[in-house]
Amino acid sequence: MIALGIDPGTAICGYGFVEMVGSRLVPRAYGSIFTSPKMRMEDRLAKIYDALDVLIKEHRPDVMGVEKLFFNRNVTTAIPVGQARGIVLLCAAKNSLRLVERTPIQIKQDVTGYGKATKAQVIYMVTKLLHLAEPPKPDDTADALAIAICTTHCVSSIAWRNGL
């Protein structure tokens, strides 16, 4: 089973493909899609959609995980992230991917065992769980891998398989 984790953003959209092989998590591909702030917003969103669509068709995940939006104090940041998240959800729908949405606390809890873990703790655990030689960069890529790890755990649960 291959899970795709996405950390949506308009400047940097992190992605990570993680495969569950037996009880081991294996990274298949990861990185970030970058857009320039000099681009028109609609062009930035189109670039994210097109790049993500190519990645999905290439790696053929079984499920996509994405972080649930939470209300941010900075509306200037929250709106573009919401727009990028909408593009990600559209791409999932167009590729007939099942979607897993988890809160930041749920992701941290699943990856580190502590829902209030720091960014450094999440990156450390992602690196260890995936047996990576070095921490993934930028942070958006590490976050996407954490979401993919969380998604594999969620989909592996009996409740998920039973459609609950």
Identified catalytic residue from 50, 110, 140, 143: 140
* Alpha carbons 57 and 69: distance in angstroms, whole number: 26
Question: Please, what's the b/e burial string for 56-67 (b: 16 or more CB within 10 A of its CB; e: otherwise)?
Answer: beeeebebbbbb
Residue recorded with tokens 């593009």: 87
19 is catalytic: no
Tokens of 102: 């988890």
Residue 120 parent element (H or E): helix 119-129
62 is catalytic: no
Identified catalytic residue from 7, 42, 43, 58: 7
7 is catalytic: yes
Identified catalytic residue from 19, 42, 50, 67: 67
**Residues carrying an active site annotation:** 7, 67, 140
